[in-house]
Amino acid sequence: MAKRRPVGNLLALAVLAALVERPRHPYEIAAVLRARGKDQDMPIKWGSLYTVVANLERHGLVAAVESARQGRRPERTVYRITEAGRAELVDWTRELVAVPEREQPRFEAGLSVLGVLAPDEALDLLRLRLDRLEGQLAAQRAALAGHAREVPRVFLIEAEYDLAVRQAEATWVRGLLDELTTGALPGLAEWRAWHETGAVPPEWADLADLTERGTEPH
Protein backbone atom coordinates (compact mmCIF):
# COMPACT_ATOMS: atom_id res chain seq x y z
CA MET A 1 0.00 0.00 0.00
CA ALA A 2 1.21 3.49 -0.83
CA LYS A 3 2.55 5.54 2.06
CA ARG A 4 1.01 8.81 3.14
CA ARG A 5 3.44 11.49 1.98
CA PRO A 6 4.10 14.84 3.72
CA VAL A 7 3.38 16.47 0.34
CA GLY A 8 1.50 13.93 -1.78
CA ASN A 9 1.14 15.95 -4.99
CA LEU A 10 3.24 14.29 -7.70
CA LEU A 11 4.46 17.75 -8.67
CA ALA A 12 6.39 17.63 -5.39
CA LEU A 13 8.22 14.55 -6.66
CA ALA A 14 9.20 16.40 -9.83
CA VAL A 15 10.35 19.44 -7.83
CA LEU A 16 12.54 17.31 -5.58
CA ALA A 17 14.03 15.56 -8.62
CA ALA A 18 14.87 18.96 -10.17
CA LEU A 19 16.44 20.24 -6.95
CA VAL A 20 18.52 17.12 -6.35
CA GLU A 21 20.64 18.27 -9.31
CA ARG A 22 21.28 21.76 -7.90
CA PRO A 23 19.47 24.64 -6.13
CA ARG A 24 16.90 26.47 -8.26
CA HIS A 25 14.16 29.07 -7.89
CA PRO A 26 10.55 28.04 -8.74
CA TYR A 27 10.55 29.83 -12.09
CA GLU A 28 13.62 27.85 -13.15
CA ILE A 29 12.12 24.62 -11.78
CA ALA A 30 9.04 25.15 -13.95
CA ALA A 31 11.20 25.82 -17.02
CA VAL A 32 13.20 22.64 -16.44
CA LEU A 33 10.09 20.49 -15.92
CA ARG A 34 8.44 21.89 -19.05
CA ALA A 35 11.59 21.35 -21.11
CA ARG A 36 11.71 17.73 -19.96
CA GLY A 37 8.02 17.14 -20.66
CA LYS A 38 7.21 16.19 -17.08
CA ASP A 39 3.60 17.22 -17.61
CA GLN A 40 3.39 14.21 -19.96
CA ASP A 41 4.57 11.87 -17.20
CA MET A 42 2.37 13.04 -14.34
CA PRO A 43 -0.59 15.36 -13.69
CA ILE A 44 0.88 18.83 -13.16
CA LYS A 45 -1.04 22.00 -12.36
CA TRP A 46 1.51 24.72 -12.96
CA GLY A 47 -0.45 27.24 -10.93
CA SER A 48 0.16 25.18 -7.78
CA LEU A 49 3.96 25.11 -8.13
CA TYR A 50 4.66 27.84 -5.58
CA THR A 51 2.22 26.26 -3.12
CA VAL A 52 3.93 22.88 -3.53
CA VAL A 53 7.37 24.43 -2.96
CA ALA A 54 6.07 26.24 0.13
CA ASN A 55 4.64 22.97 1.48
CA LEU A 56 7.93 21.17 0.84
CA GLU A 57 9.72 23.91 2.77
CA ARG A 58 7.23 23.72 5.64
CA HIS A 59 7.90 19.99 5.98
CA GLY A 60 11.67 20.47 5.87
CA LEU A 61 12.14 18.77 2.50
CA VAL A 62 13.57 21.88 0.82
CA ALA A 63 15.15 25.01 2.26
CA ALA A 64 15.55 28.56 0.98
CA VAL A 65 19.21 29.48 0.44
CA GLU A 66 19.00 32.97 -1.02
CA SER A 67 16.69 35.56 -2.50
CA ALA A 68 17.74 37.68 -5.46
CA ARG A 69 16.21 40.41 -7.55
CA GLN A 70 17.20 41.33 -11.12
CA GLY A 71 16.13 44.79 -12.18
CA ARG A 72 12.40 45.28 -11.80
CA ARG A 73 11.63 41.58 -11.73
CA PRO A 74 9.99 40.14 -8.59
CA GLU A 75 12.34 38.76 -5.98
CA ARG A 76 13.15 35.11 -6.58
CA THR A 77 13.96 32.69 -3.78
CA VAL A 78 16.39 29.89 -4.56
CA TYR A 79 15.70 26.55 -2.87
CA ARG A 80 17.89 23.53 -2.21
CA ILE A 81 16.87 20.00 -1.33
CA THR A 82 17.54 18.95 2.27
CA GLU A 83 18.75 15.55 3.48
CA ALA A 84 15.16 14.79 4.50
CA GLY A 85 14.10 15.79 0.99
CA ARG A 86 16.65 13.44 -0.58
CA ALA A 87 15.44 10.59 1.60
CA GLU A 88 11.82 11.36 0.66
CA LEU A 89 12.66 11.50 -3.05
CA VAL A 90 14.46 8.14 -2.97
CA ASP A 91 11.80 6.43 -0.83
CA TRP A 92 8.95 7.79 -2.97
CA THR A 93 10.67 6.69 -6.18
CA ARG A 94 11.24 3.20 -4.75
CA GLU A 95 7.55 2.93 -3.89
CA LEU A 96 6.35 4.14 -7.30
CA VAL A 97 8.59 1.65 -9.09
CA ALA A 98 8.03 -1.38 -6.85
CA VAL A 99 4.41 -1.13 -5.64
CA PRO A 100 1.74 -1.73 -8.32
CA GLU A 101 -1.44 0.27 -7.90
CA ARG A 102 -4.71 0.16 -9.78
CA GLU A 103 -5.12 3.29 -11.87
CA GLN A 104 -8.45 4.20 -13.40
CA PRO A 105 -8.10 5.53 -16.96
CA ARG A 106 -11.05 7.36 -18.53
CA PHE A 107 -11.22 4.76 -21.32
CA GLU A 108 -11.90 2.03 -18.76
CA ALA A 109 -14.76 4.10 -17.33
CA GLY A 110 -16.25 4.41 -20.83
CA LEU A 111 -15.91 0.70 -21.49
CA SER A 112 -17.68 -0.09 -18.21
CA VAL A 113 -20.88 1.48 -19.59
CA LEU A 114 -20.34 0.73 -23.29
CA GLY A 115 -23.66 -1.11 -23.44
CA VAL A 116 -25.61 2.19 -23.33
CA LEU A 117 -24.46 2.74 -26.92
CA ALA A 118 -25.83 0.71 -29.81
CA PRO A 119 -23.27 -1.83 -31.10
CA ASP A 120 -22.86 -0.05 -34.45
CA GLU A 121 -22.15 3.27 -32.77
CA ALA A 122 -19.69 1.62 -30.39
CA LEU A 123 -17.99 0.09 -33.42
CA ASP A 124 -17.67 3.47 -35.14
CA LEU A 125 -16.33 5.16 -32.00
CA LEU A 126 -13.78 2.41 -31.37
CA ARG A 127 -12.58 2.70 -34.96
CA LEU A 128 -12.21 6.44 -34.46
CA ARG A 129 -10.27 5.88 -31.25
CA LEU A 130 -7.98 3.39 -32.97
CA ASP A 131 -7.30 5.79 -35.85
CA ARG A 132 -6.38 8.53 -33.38
CA LEU A 133 -4.28 6.14 -31.32
CA GLU A 134 -2.32 4.98 -34.35
CA GLY A 135 -1.60 8.58 -35.33
CA GLN A 136 -0.41 9.40 -31.82
CA LEU A 137 1.69 6.25 -31.68
CA ALA A 138 3.42 7.10 -34.95
CA ALA A 139 4.26 10.56 -33.59
CA GLN A 140 5.48 9.08 -30.28
CA ARG A 141 7.72 6.57 -32.04
CA ALA A 142 9.26 9.30 -34.19
CA ALA A 143 9.81 11.59 -31.20
CA LEU A 144 11.33 8.80 -29.13
CA ALA A 145 13.67 7.82 -31.94
CA GLY A 146 14.77 11.44 -32.29
CA HIS A 147 15.44 11.85 -28.57
CA ALA A 148 17.25 8.52 -28.42
CA ARG A 149 19.96 9.89 -30.72
CA GLU A 150 20.88 12.55 -28.17
CA VAL A 151 19.59 11.44 -24.75
CA PRO A 152 20.75 8.39 -22.75
CA ARG A 153 18.06 5.73 -22.62
CA VAL A 154 17.78 5.90 -18.82
CA PHE A 155 16.11 9.30 -19.27
CA LEU A 156 13.63 7.96 -21.82
CA ILE A 157 12.35 4.89 -19.99
CA GLU A 158 9.06 6.52 -18.99
CA ALA A 159 8.43 7.43 -22.65
CA GLU A 160 9.14 3.82 -23.66
CA TYR A 161 6.69 2.60 -21.03
CA ASP A 162 3.96 4.98 -22.17
CA LEU A 163 4.49 3.89 -25.77
CA ALA A 164 4.29 0.21 -24.80
CA VAL A 165 1.07 0.72 -22.83
CA ARG A 166 -0.58 2.63 -25.66
CA GLN A 167 0.53 0.00 -28.20
CA ALA A 168 -1.04 -2.67 -25.99
CA GLU A 169 -4.26 -0.63 -25.88
CA ALA A 170 -4.28 -0.36 -29.68
CA THR A 171 -3.80 -4.13 -29.98
CA TRP A 172 -6.67 -4.78 -27.56
CA VAL A 173 -8.99 -2.35 -29.38
CA ARG A 174 -8.22 -4.05 -32.70
CA GLY A 175 -9.21 -7.37 -31.14
CA LEU A 176 -12.50 -5.99 -29.83
CA LEU A 177 -13.23 -4.40 -33.20
CA ASP A 178 -12.68 -7.75 -34.86
CA GLU A 179 -15.14 -9.44 -32.47
CA LEU A 180 -17.75 -6.74 -33.10
CA THR A 181 -17.25 -6.84 -36.86
CA THR A 182 -17.40 -10.63 -37.18
CA GLY A 183 -20.15 -11.06 -34.59
CA ALA A 184 -17.91 -13.22 -32.40
CA LEU A 185 -18.45 -11.12 -29.25
CA PRO A 186 -20.57 -13.12 -26.77
CA GLY A 187 -23.84 -11.33 -26.01
CA LEU A 188 -23.70 -9.16 -29.15
CA ALA A 189 -27.12 -10.35 -30.36
CA GLU A 190 -28.73 -9.48 -27.01
CA TRP A 191 -26.97 -6.12 -26.95
CA ARG A 192 -28.25 -5.30 -30.42
CA ALA A 193 -31.78 -6.49 -29.59
CA TRP A 194 -31.87 -4.30 -26.49
CA HIS A 195 -31.24 -1.18 -28.58
CA GLU A 196 -33.62 -2.25 -31.34
CA THR A 197 -36.55 -3.11 -29.05
CA GLY A 198 -35.85 -1.11 -25.89
CA ALA A 199 -36.44 -4.26 -23.83
CA VAL A 200 -33.67 -5.57 -21.60
CA PRO A 201 -32.89 -9.20 -22.61
CA PRO A 202 -34.13 -11.68 -19.96
CA GLU A 203 -30.61 -13.09 -19.57
CA TRP A 204 -29.29 -9.63 -18.70
CA ALA A 205 -32.16 -8.94 -16.30
CA ASP A 206 -31.46 -12.22 -14.47
CA LEU A 207 -27.78 -11.33 -14.26
CA ALA A 208 -28.62 -7.90 -12.84
CA ASP A 209 -30.85 -9.51 -10.20
CA LEU A 210 -28.08 -11.91 -9.17
CA THR A 211 -25.58 -9.07 -8.95
CA GLU A 212 -27.88 -6.94 -6.81
CA ARG A 213 -28.66 -9.85 -4.47
CA GLY A 214 -24.94 -10.49 -4.13
CA THR A 215 -24.38 -6.96 -2.84
CA GLU A 216 -27.17 -7.02 -0.23
CA PRO A 217 -25.98 -6.97 3.39
CA HIS A 218 -26.36 -10.26 5.25
**What pLDDT score does 21 carry?**
94
**CB half-sphere exposure, 118, CA atoms < 13 A:** 8
Q: What is the structure's pLDDT at 217?
A: 47
The reported pLDDT for the residue numbered 136 is: 96
| pLDDT-flagged residues of the chain (< 70) | 68-74, 208-218
pLDDT score, position 135: 97
4 within 8 A of 47, measured Cβ to Cβ: no
- Give residue 138's pLDDT: 97
Instruction: Write the single-letter amino acid at 68.
Output: A
Residue 180 phi, psi (nearest 5) = -70, -40
Distance, CA of 171 to CA of 61 (rounded, Å): 43
User: What pLDDT was estimated at residue 70?
Assistant: 63
Give the pLDDT score at 215.
53
Give residues with Cβ within 8 angstroms of 19, minimum separation 6: 29, 62, 79, 80, 81, 85
- Residue 45, SS3 per DSSP: coil
H/E stretch holding 64 reads strand 62-68
- 23: CB partners within 8 A, 6+ apart: 65, 78, 79, 80
Rounded to 5, what percent of the chain is helix, strand, coil? 65, 5, 30
Please state the pTM of the whole predicted model. 0.80
